[in-house]
Amino acid sequence: MKRTVKELAEFLGGRVIGDGTRIIEDVKGLAEAEAGDITFAVDPYTEYLPKIHAGAVIVEKEVPAGDNTLILVDTPRLSFSKLLELFHPRQSVEKGVHATAVIDKTAVLGDNTAVMAYAVIGKEVYIGANSVIYPYVFIGDRVRIDEGAVIYPGVVIFENTVIGKNAVIRSHAVIGGEGFGFATKDGVHTRIPQIGNVVIGDDVEIGAGTAIDNGTLGSTKVGRGTKIDNLVHLGHNVEIGEDCFVIAQTGIAGSTKTGHHVTFAGQTGCTGHITIGDNVTFAGKSGIIGNVPSNTINAGFPAQPHIEWSRTQVYLRRLPDLAKTVKQLEKRLAALEGKE
């Protein structure tokens, strides 16, 4: 594919500063971009532009750029992602039902839906228009999946799950598996039936190998626009708000509720039955053991405000020196007491 800078600027709704006739053949990262490539830069990386020799650079404001042509847009990252889709379109999928797919006669498939080889679809399932079900997907009874879904190979979606529009569920995720609930008597654990379901909002993405358990009663919920990374676990009756990020290897125990725009960085662990406010960020490997107010940045175990955690880390690094100082002071004090 070849496009002029001017054509790409029109596609993005941006403004060209420089030579709009340059030919662009590919999309590259800032460090790799050459004369035939388009890339993007945001602060502080814009300061390196005079050393870069790309065909064009997407930026949000006019900056010194050496011999680069600029395209000014409001959101460079979003514009760059659009170009990635333009220059590197996804694998095309043939619509229709493969002969080896097993679909119950009561299931309903929307228009232009693709069901690929060896998928299994249960009773009273509804799958909306323009969805893609890849090979070896299992969809249990009474599942509802709205239009535009993409369900990748090996995904398991258990009965009664509800999934909104434009869902992306990556390989080997398990949605609606039975929650982890037991009653213990005399050291013996007896399973408590988990009869709830999972409800996923519109525009949610769920990463490979992620498990979202169904509710004991009621629903485990993931709000609109939330993005979940690979290898995440949400326990029964967890409720995640809208536009959240849940990053790899995070585990959130049962019945915890979060607000909107919450970020759990990688390997965060969260206890159950707590409430987390809106606009909260947890640094990687945070350990959350209690309620967390809105508009906070937290880190450490137990999770605490990031500035307090940072101060603690400074003191921890100084502990050996502090221990030496204390020993010296103890010796001086003992000497002074001996003189008395």
- Of all helices (H) and strands (E), which one includes residue 182? strand 182-185
Confidence of residue 312 (pLDDT cuts 50, 70, 90): confident
What pLDDT is stored for residue 339 in this prediction? 65
| Model confidence at 316: pLDDT above 90 | no
98 is catalytic: no
Indicate if the pLDDT at residue 256 is higher than 80: yes
- Give the tens place of pLDDT for each residue, 180-216: 999 999 999 999 999 999 999 999 999 999 999 999 9
Question: If you write DSSP's letter for every residue of 91-159 in order, what string do you get?
Answer: PP---EE-TT-EE-TT-EE-TT-EE-TT-EE-TT-EE-TT-EE-TT-EE-TT-EE-TT-EE-TT-EE-T
Q: Residue 128 pLDDT > 70, yes or no? A: yes
Rounded to an integer, the average pLDDT of 165-180 is 97
* pLDDT above 70 for 242: yes
From residue 4, how far is each of 39, 58, 67, 237 by CA, in Å? 14, 14, 16, 51
Q: Which of 236, 260, 273, 306 is catalytic?
A: 236
- For residue 317, name the pLDDT band (cuts at 50, 70, 90): confident
The answer to whether residue 290 scores a pLDDT higher than 90 is yes
Cis bond upstream, residue 302 (ω within 30): yes
**Residue 1: what pLDDT?**
85
Is the pLDDT at 284 greater than 70, yes or no? Answer: yes
pTM of the model: 0.86
Q: Count of residues for the chain?
A: 340
> Is the predicted pLDDT of residue 7 greater than 80, yes or no?
yes
Q: Which pLDDT belongs to residue 340? A: 58
Span 65-93, pLDDT tens digits: 999 999 999 999 999 999 999 999 887 88
Q: What pLDDT does 318 receive?
A: 85
- pLDDT at residue 315, rounded to an integer: 79
pLDDT at residue 4, rounded to an integer = 96
CB 41 within 8 A of CB 60: no
CB 231 within 8 A of CB 248: yes
pLDDT score recorded for residue 220: 98
Q: How does the average pLDDT of the chain come out, rounded?
A: 95
State how far the Cα of 265 lies from the Cα of 298, in Å rounded to an integer.
10
Mean pLDDT on 323-337:
88
Residue 328 has pLDDT above 80, yes or no: yes
Average pLDDT score over residue span 254-263? 98
Report the sign of the C-alpha dihedral through residues 44, 48, 50, 52, in that order: negative
